[in-house]
Structure 1
Amino acid sequence: MKPLVAELLEANIGKVKEQEPLANHTTMKVGGPADIFVEPDSIESLKKAMEIIQKHQVSWRAIGRGSNLLVSDEGIEGVVIKLGEGLDELKVEGEEVTVGGGYSLIRLATVISKQGLSGLEFAGGIPGSVGGAVYMNAGAHGSDMSRIVKKAQILFPDGTIEWLTNEQMEFAYRTSILQTKRPGICLAAILQLKQGNREEIVARMQKNKDYRRETQPWNYPCAGSIFRNPLPHYAGRLIEEAGLKGYAIGGAKISEQHANFIVNVGNAKAQDVLDLIDYVKKTIKQLHGIDLQTEVEIVGRKS
C-alpha cells in the first residue's frame, strides 16, 4: 500500500489519509478504518486517482455523505473515495439542473424549491449526496430519482467517463445499473424539473421534511431505512407488529419512533447493528415467512 499512498500524495489530488476511521464519515457513526481514504478536489483529480488505483490493482469503493451505509468494524480493504467539495457544482438553466455528485441532496431540494422548480420535493428530508441518490435511486413520498434524472455522468474504473440516459441507468426500486451491472461513480446528473408555483413547491417540500422529522429518528445517528419494503407489506409495520420497537443489542436499538430504523444510542459497534438486523430477519421470517432484504448497503471486511 505504501507505493500507492506515495503516488496518490505526489499526484496532489486532494486529501489522502491512511487508516481513516469511517465512523467519521457515515451517518450511523460506526465502522472501522479505510486502508486508504481519498477525497479528490475535482473531477480531474478523481480521474487521476482512479488511474493510479487501477495501476496498482487495488480494490476501491466510493461514498458520498455516508447515509444508507453500514461499514463493518474491521473497515474497508483498499481505497475509499469520498465525493464532496470539488464535485458539488450547481447550474440551473430553465427547467434543467446540472448538479455535481458531491452536492447535498437536502440542500439541492431546498435551493431548487426556492427557485420555483418542482420535482425534488420528495427529497427534502433525504440525507446524502446527489451521486449516492442516483446510485441507489433514492426516493420517498411516492417519487424517486428515476422520475427526474435525464442523464447521469459516470466515471468507470477503466477511466472512461460516459453520460448515461435515464433508460441506460436501468433504475428500479432503490437500485440502478451502478449496483447491478456496471460499477461506477456518479460525477454529476442532469435533472429535468418543471416550473411551478414557488410558494406551493416550498410548502410541499417543507411538509415532507416535517413529516420525516416527526416520524423518523434523525435525533440519533442512523443510516436511514434498514429494510426494503416487501410490498405489499411495509417493513416498519411488520417489525412494529412483531413487538420489536425498542429492542436493543449493545449500543444499537430499533427506533421507538419508526421500526424500520436502527439507531446508535451510544457507542454502538457495527456488529451490534448487524446482529440486530439478523434478529429482525429471523423474527419476521418465523412470524410471516417473509425474507426481509436490507436497503442499507453493508460493506467492509468480515469479522
Structure 2
Amino acid sequence: MQRVFSGIQPTGIPHLGNYLGAIRSWVTLQETYDSFYCLVDLHSITMPWEPEKLRQQTLVTAACLLACGLNPDRLYNQSAVSTHARLGWIFNCVSRLGWLNRMTQFKDKAGKNRENHSAGLYVYPNLMAADILAFHATHVPVGDDQRQHIELANDIAQKFNHDMGVEFFPQIQGLIPPHAARVMNLRDGQKKMSKSDPSEQSRIILTDKEDDITLKIKRAKTDSEPLPGEVEGLKDRHEARNLITIYASLSDKTPEAVLQEFGGNGFGQFKKALTDLLIEKIVPIAQETERLLSHEDHIISLLRKGAETASTVSEPIVSEAERLVGFLR
C-alpha cells in the first residue's frame, strides 16, 4: 500500500509559503494516497517554547489545516500518539552520531551556541524518521531542504532491517508535488517566507483578512523596472520573481503565462491583480479558520479522533519493531 505522511510544526500561524509549498498539495494527495498529516508538537519543544502558546498555536494550526480541506480523520497532534516517541527512541539507538553530525538543519538552527541547545534538537531527525516509518509510509512530500532528512530516514530503516535480519521498514520516496511553490519573504526576496521573521509584513498568513492582504502586498518590496515579458528577465530581480511565482501558483498558470499578461507594465496593475487573487483564495480559509476556532472543543474532539485512527495504524507496526529489537511484549 502506498502511504503518505507529512507534518507541520504548530509554532506560529501557517503562512502562504506553507500553503503553496505543502498544504495545498496535501489536500490533493489525500485523494490518491492513504495519507496521515500530523501537528508535530514533539518537535516544537526542541527549541525554547511557552506551554500555553504552544497549546493555542496547535489549535490555530489545526483549524487552518481543516479550513484548507484536510481530512479530519487523518489529522492529529503527534504527542497524542505514543508510537512516535517509542519508535523515536529505538531510532536514537540505531542512528549513528556521524550521520547526525552531517545534518545541516541542526547547524543552521543551533548556530555558534550549539552547546546550549537541547539534545532533542540534535536527535530530532531520528524522531522525524520515526514519524514516517511508524506508519510504513512510502512517500513524503518534500522540498529541497528536507531531502537530507529522507536520506537519513532511509539509512536508519536500512540499518534496522540489516541489524534485525528482516525486511521490515520500507524505503521512503521523496514526493515533490507538481504544483508546489517556493515562496519567499515579501520584504526580502532572497529569504524564505517564515513564521519566525520579526516583521509581520514579510508574510501572508492564513488568517489574514482582506485589509491585511491589501496592505502587505502594497508594501511588498519591488524595484523600479517594469515587469519583463520573459522569465529570463527576472534574473537577479528576486522580489519581482517571488511575486510572479505567487501569482502563477495561486492561479495555476506558468510564470511565462503571467508575464505574457503583465509584462511591460509597472507593478501597480500587477499588485492589484495579485491582491485580488490572494483575497479570493486566502480570505475564505481565514473565515473558516475563525469559525472553527469559535468551537475549540470541536477541534480537540477531531484531533482525538484522528489520533485514534493514527494509533490503530501505527501501533501494530511499532509493536512489531519493539518485538524485533527484543522487548518483552
Verify same fold: TM over 0.5: no
The structure with the greater share of residues assigned to helix is 2
The structure with the greater share of residues assigned to strand is 1
Q: Which has the higher contact order (CA 8 A, sep 6+)?
A: 2
TM-score scaled by length of structure 2: 0.25
TM-score scaled by length of structure 1: 0.27
